A = this chain, B = another copy of it.
């Protein structure tokens, strides 16, 4: 179950960064949804390496194949199997990892857990694993587009290191996000972020940041009251992404420094609909959507791979120094934006199906 996600819209991903390839099987997709490889490829292209000058130059085309579950351009209701070959794998770049643990990577913990690991790359801990998630998210997007046509999801880079963008969650559009190679729709902040990331690359260093995501026109009633609160499933989804360190919804940590009279979202009628004056709740109350925009943020740590010598230990327990040689991102955030959207879409699509059954 370690590699499965969702209750009714269920995704199983598989594959190591260095091996035959990576993929996903989506079980529970409703039938008769229009779906082409291009629908999936479009999202994979936003995730793939080599897409701009500030991401890893690993040259993976990440071409996806749909092996099952689709017939004459429509989903069958049966499992959809997606396959992406690994092409530009260079295991020799990882030779040192066979014997030494890279700091803040998963080499040591995988070895400790399994007593074995594929040292020719990051294995399942590699960002390549997220290809299956992004592909599955693209399918969820198509399902929701038919079920809830008005629904809009936009994720973007809110901050890189100390650089924070100013963005209006009510109006921000994907198009503006995609015009920035760092995927920050505030042009001024975007320029500064790109500059910072380039500097970091030159210095062999890396930076972290925060991705914000807004979902507008969400149906009311999604989410379950206790353990499967919508924000709980979103939190799990986000913290399951590589390099994430935090999640907050609505007012988040800042909300912990407010009083009740400031924080409560007063109800009012607007266009015949129950709405709230403010949205500190982030669109979810008691675990269930209230129709206001869902707004959440995800903290990403700086990429662990840096091109500097670092102290570590090897598999025999001796001290050693390690100098990474792989091709990596000085900042994961630009490529993480489609991952955040994909995971949010998986959660929403799953809960939309669950609510269909429950209501």
Contacts and interface: CB of A to CB of B under 8 A. Distances in A.
Contact of A304 (B2, B21, B260, B318): B260
B302 A79 contact: no
B264 A103 contact: yes
Contacts of A308: 261
A5 interface: yes
B209 A256 contact: yes
Contact of A251 (B25, B105, B301): B301
Contact of A112 (B114, B221, B240, B300): B221
Given A108-B285, A245-B255, A356-B356, A76 B232 contact: no
Interface residues of A, number: 151
Contact of A113 (B2, B104, B301, B359): B359
Contact of A101 (B75, B123, B267): B267
Most buried by B among A105, A109, A208, A251: A109
A251 B74 CA distance: 36
A28 interface: yes
Interface stretch (A38-46, A48-56, A65-73, A180-188): A65-73
A22 interface: yes
Given A12-B12, A71-B118, A245-B250, A28 B209 contact: no
A223 B208 CA distance: 24
List the number of copies, as a whole number: 4
A354 interface: yes
A109 B290 contact: yes
Contacts of A221: 109, 112-113
27 contacts: A2-B228, A3-B225, A4-B4, A4-B10, A8-B358, A12-B12, A21-B67, A74-B116, A76-B114, A104-B263, A104-B281, A104-B285, A105-B285, A106-B286, A106-B288, A108-B285, A112-B220, A112-B274, A125-B225, A161-B257, A208-B263, A245-B256, A246-B248, A246-B253, A266-B311, A268-B313, A356-B356
